[in-house]
Amino acid sequence: MKFNTKVIHGGQENIDPAYGAVMPPIYQTSTYKQSTPGGHKGFEYSRSGNPTRDALEKALASIENGKHGLAFGSGLAAMDAVLKLFNPGDEIVSTNDLYGGSYRLFTGIFEKFGIKFHFVGMDDIARIEEKINSNTKLIWVETPTNPMMNVIDIQAVSQLARKNQILLAVDNTFATPYLQRPLDLGADIVMHSATKYLGGHSDVVMGSLVVKDDKLAQRLYYIQNASGAVPGPQDSFLVLRGIKTLHLRMQRHCENGAAVAQFLKDHPKVGKVYWPGFEDHPGHETAKKQMTGFGGMISFTTKDDSKQSAVELVEKLRVFTLAESLGGVESLAGHPASMTHASIPKEEREKTGVVDSLIRLSVGIEDEEDLIEDLKQALG
């Protein structure tokens, strides 16, 4: 089954044996009748499992070419479950350019429990290898990275992880399985903030994990059930519905992203533009190798490199909405230093390029001419 068919039908056989509903029903229930103690029809309590969530989890596994999907109450809840696989004294190597909430979870929550994190630029595999020792248990990759759009070679990192018997997890939120499938490139765990492109309509908060290995899946299922950070059936329904149009939306995100990126690159009031579709982007060849397109996420700086000009620009936008998050049908603009990455200390975020003049765009699926006109008027 090819991808465009998978997003609609993948893992969705016999989703409603009772009445044959084409879409999985929303099972808005907390518990289930048992014929005898322990005698149930596959579900006993909705923290442990719910038919609507089950349908979503099967769809998630299908589109990532995985075997097991797990849904969580948010992307950070999904990450939290991964980190609970480890013990005090374990070490994790992470990319140094990543979502501010991920950095906060690593340093603000799990460091105090004795897990040590190393943040390195992953464009050079040697930097990762330098940090690996007998305590290293996980490599955490985000690609393309948020917000600097760096591209990390998943296959090369997976070979390093396998050689050292280390797990590899990839945050695939920006690319989505439409553009990139990390499990096929050797990753052990794929994570999504399903709030973003998978849901696609800015109306739900959710996270997900997908794995192939049965034993790893069982460990994560145990954590999911024991910790209880699961989504409800209504949210599960919304993300499952979003997945069914993922391929159509991503195609337009990519088309509009290319047009907006080129406009910005040619504009005299724009400084640097970060988008992996440009041939002079340092990760362009890697992106061509492991992705089927370059996506709709773009970051850029203003020409005068000042916070004031960046803030004034995003405040003037009319079609782009100034807001946190990304991946919805509507175009969004953000100021990472003040918004999504404010939890990272200024000196740390500026090392990776997250300066005060940086703006991040999530290019939506509107008409590209309207998006470009909006940027043109905002740039003055």
End-to-end CA distance of the chain: 48
The pLDDT of residue 353:
94
Q: Is the pLDDT confidence value at 15 over 80?
A: no
Query: Domain check: are 183 and 309 in the same one?
Result: no
Query: Domain check: are 199 and 257 in the same one?
Result: no
Q: Tell me the pLDDT tens digit for each residue of 326-355.
A: 999 999 999 999 999 999 999 999 999 999
Q: Are 147 and 356 in contact (CB under 8 A)?
A: no
DSSP label at residue 227: H
In sequence order, what are the residues at sequence separation of 6 or more whose Cβ sits closer than 8 angstroms to the Cβ of residue 17? none
Query: Domain check: are 198 and 331 in the same one?
Result: no
Query: Catalytic site residues?
Result: 47, 99, 171, 196
Q: Are 195 and 173 in contact (CB under 8 A)?
A: no
Burial class (CB in 10 A: 0-12, 13-18, 19+), 243: buried
What is the arithmetic mean of pLDDT over 7-31?
90
How many domains does the chain divide into?
2
Q: Is the pLDDT confidence value at 185 over 80?
A: yes
DSSP label at residue 105: I
Q: Is the pLDDT confidence value at 198 over 90?
A: yes
Q: Which CATH number covers residue 134?
A: 3.40.640.10
Q: Tell me the pLDDT tens digit for each residue of 87-107.
A: 999 999 999 999 999 999 999
Query: Domain check: are 236 and 250 in the same one?
Result: no
The pLDDT of residue 13:
82
Nearest-angstrom CA–CA distance, 141 and 156: 12
Q: Are 99 and 146 in contact (CB under 8 A)?
A: yes
| pLDDT confidence band for 248 (50 / 70 / 90) | very high
Q: Is the pLDDT confidence value at 17 over 90?
A: no
| Structural domain boundaries enclosing 368 | 246-379
Q: Tell me the pLDDT tens digit for each residue of 234-244.
A: 999 999 999 99
Q: Is the pLDDT confidence value at 14 over 80?
A: no
Last residue of a domain, one of 196, 228, 243: 243
Nearest-angstrom CA–CA distance, 240 and 237: 5
DSSP label at residue 41: S
Helix 233-243, helix 51-63: angle, nearest 10: 30
Query: Domain check: are 131 and 204 in the same one?
Result: yes
Query: Domain check: are 211 and 324 in the same one?
Result: no
Last residue of a domain, one of 243, 276, 293: 243
Last residue of a domain, one of 205, 224, 243: 243
The pLDDT of residue 303:
96
DSSP label at residue 45: B
Q: Tell me the pLDDT tens digit for each residue of 27-85.
A: 999 999 999 998 888 889 999 999 999 999 999 999 999 999 999 999 999 999 999 99
Q: Give which of 70, 328, 327 is closest to 224, Cα–Cα.
A: 70
Query: Domain check: are 76 and 109 in the same one?
Result: yes
Q: Is the pLDDT confidence value at 112 over 80?
A: yes
The pLDDT of residue 289:
98
Q: Which DSSP string do the residues of 341-354 spell out, in sequence order?
A: TTTS-HHHHHHTT-
Indicate the length of the chain as a whole number. Answer: 380
Q: Are 63 and 206 in contact (CB under 8 A)?
A: no
At residue 276's C-alpha, the angle toward residues 272 and 280, to 5°, is 65
> Which strand (E) or helix (H) includes residue 254?
helix 246-266
Query: Domain check: are 166 and 312 in the same one?
Result: no
Query: Domain check: are 238 and 254 in the same one?
Result: no
The strand pairing partners of 321, in sequence order, are 332
The pLDDT of residue 42:
86
The pLDDT of residue 145:
98
CB atoms within 10 A of CB 188: 21
Q: What percent of the chain has pLDDT over 70?
A: 100
Query: Domain check: are 233 and 137 in the same one?
Result: yes
Q: Are 313 and 302 in contact (CB under 8 A)?
A: yes
In sequence order, what are the residues at sequence separation of 6 or more whose Cβ sits closer than 8 angstroms to the Cβ of residue 166? 132, 136, 137, 138, 139, 160
Supply the mean pLDDT for the chain: 97
Query: Domain check: are 251 and 301 in the same one?
Result: yes
Coil, strand or helix at 140: strand
Q: Which CATH number covers residue 355?
A: 3.90.1150.10
Alpha-carbon distances of 42 from 39, 59, 67, 378, rounded to whole Å: 9, 18, 19, 55
> Which strand (E) or helix (H) includes residue 142?
strand 136-142
In sequence order, what are the residues at sequence separation of 6 or more whose Cβ sits closer than 8 angstroms to the Cβ of residue 11? 55, 58, 59, 61, 62, 69
Query: Domain check: are 217 and 310 in the same one?
Result: no
Backbone phi, psi, residue 344, to 5°: -90, 130
CB atoms within 10 A of CB 339: 17
